Structure 1
Amino acid sequence: MSIVKLSMRLVTSALLRAAPAALALGAVVLAWEVYALFSGISPTTLPAPSRVVTQAWEHRLALLDNMLPTLAATTLGFVYSLLAAFAFSVLVDFIPPIRRGLFPVLIISQTLPLVAIAPLVVLWFGFGLGPKIGLVALVTFFPMLVALVQGYAATDRDIEALLASMGAGRLRVFLLARLPSSLPYFFAGIRISITYAVVGAIFAEYAGAAKGLGIYILNAKNNFRPDLVLAAVLVSSALTLMLFGIVVLVQRLVMPWDRLERRSP
């Protein structure tokens, strides 16, 4: 089966599974629309979903222009974070004492509020793309690192013992047993991190940026345009769902056996 056909089957299967959630979301949007139209509430307080979609279409060029910097910061920060998480996880797995020294520091880094860190990072490093990438990497690094380390620890000891009895060294055991065993955990960490990535990029843009969805939302709020604020939120949500869907698709292409195991009784 070609990759294109497999991808189409996966997309169709995902759409069928998403149907109940889509119906529930549609019901919420319909209730919101009816309330906004017939309750007498001002559109400057609560615009109807139809108005939000209309304004999003009318301002599509401005939204697209501001979405691209957010997407760039999100993807670059996420890629750097992924590479760093993998490198550190390998280091921690091969040298356990590093884990005892490194993890407390990383846990402390996750307790720092992003709304407090973002202005400082922008103040130190300027309004360019670099600080945004750094903040995205900061909020996405730890979940992936923890997922990888937990995945290595979940390796079947019998498989490791078998490989060792056949003369496999530590590196070969890692590549043949520990790394494959970590894939389900790794992708779980990626799915969590990718949802944080867009939020991290928008928070960084709040702190200071020339363009981006964060600065667009801030400007729309200052101009008392909740419809444009919600239009930008709609775009950011669509962007997050798109990236999440890409991660799920990559996981199914990389781990085709996972779906077979779930289907087996």
Structure 2
Amino acid sequence: MRKVWIRGGKSVLFLLFLFILWEALVRITETPMWLLPAPSDVIKEAVIGFDTFSVHILSTVYLAILGLVIGCSVGLLIAIILYRLPKVNELLYPLLILSQNIPTIVLAPLLIIWFGFGMMPKLMIISLVCFFPIVVASMDGFRQTAPELKHYMQMVGASRNQIFWKLEFPHSLPSIFSGLKIAATYSVMGAVISEWLGAKKGVGVYMTLAQSSFRIDRVFVAIFFVMLLSIVLFGMIRAIEKVVVKGRNEGA
């Protein structure tokens, strides 16, 4: 625990150094705010305009979390189906890989045309960027179960379902949580992209309006919030991982 705090403290100090350097360079070169605002200007705008920005924050947080839950649930279900049914895996896994080569920025307008400007296309966009890391990480975790343990369970008469749920699934939890942490950062990005293409409120909308009016300080406020939300979601999943995986290990 002490090592974690030391490493975290070093990262915070380095980040603080970067902000100070940024502030100094902007002040020395007298860079105009519409080109590159100083960190102090960004913080000032975040405080002054918080009442306006808070409405957009709630919308993006709701979208990101709901899309993350849906995407991860679907991804885990697909991973279990592909692992348990090898023939289905041979048929669908290449298609899943191909689906990730379609740029989200191209697919999003099509989803909006097909499903309108409601919640569904936004959640579909977020789910699409979240589910693939879960599928890959989960399947890798299932495959990495020690073969001698599987052989032992087969010797004592365990069924295939029992081997999966009592051995392979618990052993895959570290890999599943690795996929969840990646998906958590993707969910915020997916939420912002979906808001760019059709929404009444959200950080993506706030960012677009700020950009069109050359309020670059507001653009940086939105960028910093996206980064902060990604870190918070990552930290939450990491905290859950420590409880769940530790509990599994102690149970074993």
TM-score strictly above 0.5:
yes
* Residue of 90, 97, 120 corresponding to 1:130: 120
* 1:170 corresponds to 2:194: no
What is the distance in 2 between the residues matched to 1:15 and 1:237?
Answer: 20
Per the normalisation by structure 1, the TM-score is 0.90
Conserved in 1, the CA contact under 8 Å of 2:34 and 2:217? yes
Per the normalisation by structure 2, the TM-score is 0.95
Q: How many residues align?
A: 250
Which residue in the other structure is 1:85 paired with? 75
Q: Residues 124 and 254 (structure 1 numbering): CA distance in 2 closer, same or farther, change over 3 Å? A: same
Q: Residues 47 and 258 (structure 1 numbering): CA distance in 2 closer, same or farther, change over 3 Å? A: farther
* Residue of 10, 17, 21 corresponding to 1:27: 17
* Residue of 182, 185, 194 corresponding to 1:195: 185
Conserved in 1, the CA contact under 8 Å of 2:203 and 2:222? yes
Q: Report how far residue 53 of structure 1 moved.
A: 0.6
* 1:37 corresponds to 2:27: yes
What is the distance in 2 between the residues matched to 1:125 and 1:13?
Answer: 49
Which residue in the other structure is 2:45 paired with? 55
Q: Report how far residue 194 of structure 1 moved.
A: 0.8
Conserved in 1, the CA contact under 8 Å of 2:72 and 2:183? no
What is the distance in 1 between the residues matched to 2:76 and 2:222?
Answer: 33
* Residue of 228, 245, 249 corresponding to 1:255: 245
What is the distance in 2 between the residues matched to 1:188 and 1:126?
Answer: 34
* Residue of 43, 55, 58 corresponding to 1:65: 55
1:199-237 residue CA offsets vs partner (Å, 9 max, x unmatched): 011011111111110011000000110000001111111
Q: Report how far residue 258 of structure 1 moved.
A: 9.2
Q: Report how far residue 16 of structure 1 moved.
A: 3.4
Q: Report how far residue 255 of structure 1 moved.
A: 1.3
- 3-state DSSP of counterpart to 2:100: helix
Q: Report how far residue 13 of structure 1 moved.
A: 6.5
Which residue in the other structure is 1:233 paired with? 223
Conserved in 2, the CA contact under 8 Å of 1:127 and 1:210? no
Conserved in 1, the CA contact under 8 Å of 2:45 and 2:218? yes
Conserved in 1, the CA contact under 8 Å of 2:67 and 2:126? yes
Q: Residues 152 and 259 (structure 1 numbering): CA distance in 2 closer, same or farther, change over 3 Å? A: closer
Q: Percent identity?
A: 31
Q: Report how far residue 257 of structure 1 moved.
A: 6.8
Q: Residues 31 and 134 (structure 1 numbering): CA distance in 2 closer, same or farther, change over 3 Å? A: same
What is the distance in 2 between the residues matched to 1:254 and 1:247?
Answer: 10
Q: Runs of 4 or more off by more than 3 Å in structure 1?
A: 12-16, 257-260
* 1:208 corresponds to 2:198: yes
What is the distance in 2 between the residues matched to 1:15 and 1:257?
Answer: 23
Conserved in 1, the CA contact under 8 Å of 2:170 and 2:248? no
Q: Report how far residue 15 of structure 1 moved.
A: 3.9
What is the distance in 2 between the residues matched to 1:51 and 1:15?
Answer: 30
* 1:149 corresponds to 2:139: yes
Unaligned runs of 5+ in 1: 1-9, 261-265
